[in-house]
Amino acid sequence: MNVVKFAKELEAIIAKYDLSNEVSLLKQDNSVSKSSELEAELEAMQKDGRTLKLGIIGRVKSGKSSLINALIFEGEDVLPKAATPMTAALTVLKYGQNLEAEVDFFSKEDLRDIKENAANFQKRKNEIAEVKFNELVELEKRKQKLNFKKLDQEKEAELRKRAVNIAEQEMRNDAALSAAAEQYERIERSGVKLKNLEEFKNISATSMDELNSKLYDFVGADSKYMPFTKSVTLKLDKESLKDIEIIDTPGVNDPVVSREERTKQLLKTCDVVLVVSPSGQFLSSEDTNLLDRVTKKDGIREVYLVASQVDNQLFGGEKEKGGGLLPKVLDNIRETLSAQQSRVLKEIKAQSPEVGDSLNELIDSKVLLSSATAFYMMINYEKQAKWDANSKHVWGNLSHFYRDYFDDKQSALANLNLLSGIKAIEQIVSKVKEKKEEILQKRSTEFISVKSKNLLNYQQAVEQQIQEKMQILESSDINEIKRQREQMIKIKSKAIEAVNTAYEDSIEGFELNIKDRLFAKVESYFKKLTDDIASSEATEEYSYKVIDNGFTNLWGLFGDRYKTKYGTRTTVQAGYVKNSLDQVISEVENLTEIEYRQNIAEWKKSLYKSLVSSARSVVDDDVLDPVIISRTIRGTLNSVKNPDINYSGSFPKELQKSGTLKGYEAEQFLSAAGEFARNLKSRVRSDVKSSVDALIGSFKSQDVANVIFVKYDEEISSLVSDIENKEQALDRYKLILKDIKDAGRR
């Protein structure tokens, strides 16, 4: 099968019969790409002598850039880390004899597509808003039992505003159009013309600092030219980059929709992927969604999982379980994470049989452990005075809790190397370089196979949808449909009220449940933190000298005489306390995201049953279509963005210490740690409550019932029109069906 030709035929049929609105959801669900994209991707894949493309991807703050800095730049912070303005960039690293950058801007065709999609977004939003406004007017008439012809200006403005809000909520379900609308708004706001950017396409520099400074205008999150920047390619004179390109993407949970869409497009070009996931929150829902995409939807064959920031996991229970033996602790962590990896990948394979055997090797393999910080400390061991605060903190913990492994230079370097895990990842890179031709061939074959399956699924889904329309049309009675429409008009206000009541009750239950779960988690986190602070405190005996007042010093000839006294003083393992504080902050920052996703997934099931049941209490089954309700619920919940909690930079200076503190310094540290923990707990509880309130507020603002019944009206009105022109409609559907079935066979 010629996959590009097949895609073009399907696109031509959709355009010929103006079916784009009817099948847009089918196209999205079946992961269908544009024929132009397929053609470009295949051409790039099959190009002679092309380099292997290695993508390094993962969540924001997962340690992607730190890993690349360790692999390519000997641990130095050349690439910017997460949460900086530079993360707006999609960065490609490739070999070049001179230090330079190429900025790839959107083409005229890209901008035209963006503008057209933004216009389509606005047009469809306006159409939905107009339909909704008319519905709201009818409801207002029945509500007030008035037969007025015109609303007063204030009420009309209120209803139009509600209609626009509903339309915007519904349009957010269309990720592509939403992204285009956002991107076009940024382009217009910039006031920049594409023709003026050509002079900036090539940038040269004598140092990385100079190059980064010059690039800011193009990749900074709010910079002037960023809306036009597709990606940035850095050319570096590095032997490790010969025959390979490394692609550093922004986080897959990027809050800027248009930027994330560009990331997904770039992912499609990768032949090999390293998925970087923090070992403390290994394989989150974002990671599993990403794995699903790169193994099923984009046909990528070579995938490796890296558990980053493993230096944070060596303490507490893991240290005790491993008996304080560093290699044993690392082995235990690797086994635990590998078991989790195997379980998650088996679930993906069970849910998506189309991935075939592509995950088998990964399911049976061990997780790669990594610590970019350990690698940085190893490379810069002789420059400890210049280490950053995080490196000093990690070193304090390692040298205290694993003293035997880091008490001399030779041992320290060997164990930092072991902890970094960079050698194993370098071996992976070398391995894929050696297998380059084999990987590229598999990649091309798999890509064609996956895209062909997606197109066939899409073709079948369109066929089924057309056949269902024909069956309904042939079996429907115009009088019965009109009766149903009249019945729906009569009972719509009651149905909307019933569904809204059920929706509000369900939200209330969801709110109580998620607050209980979140607060219980917070309590458990801070109980452990309190226990950790308490266990870090100890006392020790010590000796000190005081002047012996009983000694007589004749004429001051012999100086003062001292005697030795003994006492006890408080000690504290500052690094252990700081690590526990770091851990609780990390857990809290990830808490809401994880709990929201788990709770919302559970809530969707109960919400669907509740809304269908409430609708059936006033709407006959022969009128009710549960599929529309299910689709509306899915779109509504997916349109709400989960609130974010962040505590970066919240550590006070008095807690930026490591090692064993003693006496007054220890007591001051413990007091500051206790006060910080209490204040943090209070702040976390407040933030959790606020974030849940914001989430619930977003859900309450969704006009679910009205959206459901607007869809009913649209479908019934379309059906009435078809029945009134039954023969013409059937002839049209038969032509569509024939063309759809013939696609790909010519």
Identity at 207, one-letter amino acid code: S
Cα–Cα distances in Å, from 476 out to 139, 470, 479, 720? Answer: 28, 10, 9, 9
- State the pLDDT at residue 445: 81
Secondary structure of 351-416 as H, E, C letters: HCHHHCCCCHHHHHCCCEECCHHHHHHHHCHHHHHHCCHHHHHHHHHHHHHCHHHHCCHHHHHHHH
For the ranges 120-124, 293-297, 333-337, the maximum mean pLDDT occurs at 333-337
Euclidean distance between CA atoms 346 and 544, whole angstroms:
63
Q: Over the range 588-609, which residues count as b (16 or more CB within 10 Å of their CB) and which as e?
A: bbbbbbbbbeebbeebeeebbe
Rounded to the nearest 5 degrees, what angle is found at the Cα of 155, between the Cα atoms of 154 and 160? Answer: 100
The SS3 assignment for 76 reads coil
DSSP 584-607: HHHHHHHHHHHHHHHHHHHHHHHH
Which residue has better confidence, 151 or 190?
A: 190
CB 571 within 8 A of CB 389: no
As a dihedral over the C-alpha atoms of residue 14, residue 16, residue 19, residue 20, rounded to 10 degrees, the angle is 60
Euclidean distance between CA atoms 65 and 78, whole angstroms:
9
Euclidean distance between CA atoms 305 and 295, whole angstroms:
13
Range scoring the smallest mean pLDDT among 82-86, 162-166, 205-209, 535-539: 82-86
pLDDT 10s digits, 278-288: 888 788 766 77
Q: Which residue in 307, 287, 456 sits closest to 370, CA to CA?
A: 307
- State the pLDDT at residue 198: 79
- State the pLDDT at residue 86: 37
pLDDT 10s digits, 302-320: 788 999 989 988 887 788 8
Euclidean distance between CA atoms 90 and 264, whole angstroms:
11
Q: Which run of H or E residues covers position 55? A: strand 52-58
CB 192 within 8 A of CB 228: yes
- State the pLDDT at residue 412: 93
Q: Which two tokens stand for residue 582?
A: 């770091």
Is it the case that residue 25 has pLDDT exceeding 60?
no
- State the pLDDT at residue 211: 77
Euclidean distance between CA atoms 458 and 466, whole angstroms:
12
Which residue has better confidence, 422 or 651?
A: 422
Cα–Cα distances in Å, from 47 out to 41, 92, 434? Answer: 10, 19, 19
Euclidean distance between CA atoms 284 and 305, whole angstroms:
13
Work out the mean pLDDT of the chain and round it to a whole number: 78
Strands 272-278 and 52-58: parallel
Is it the case that residue 168 has pLDDT exceeding 70?
yes
pLDDT 10s digits, 364-407: 888 999 998 899 899 889 999 888 888 888 898 898 889 899 98
Range scoring the smallest mean pLDDT among 66-70, 185-189, 436-440, 619-623: 619-623
- State the pLDDT at residue 257: 47
Euclidean distance between CA atoms 459 and 743, whole angstroms:
8
Is it the case that residue 357 has pLDDT exceeding 90?
no
Q: Which two tokens stand for residue 561?
A: 């005489």
DSSP 8-state symbol, 339: H
Domains and CATH numbers, the chain: 47-92+249-434 (3.40.50), 98-236 (no CATH), 485-537+572-702 (no CATH)
Q: Which residue in 605, 607, 624, 606 sits closest to 615, CA to CA?
A: 624
For the ranges 135-149, 352-366, 645-659, the maximum mean pLDDT occurs at 352-366
CB 79 within 8 A of CB 276: no
Which residues does residue 314 pair with via DSSP β-bridges, in sequence order?
A: none
Is it the case that residue 256 has pLDDT exceeding 90?
no
Residue 82: pLDDT band (50, 70, 90) is: very low
Share of the chain above pLDDT 70, in %: 77
Is it the case that residue 605 has pLDDT exceeding 60?
yes
- State the pLDDT at residue 638: 65
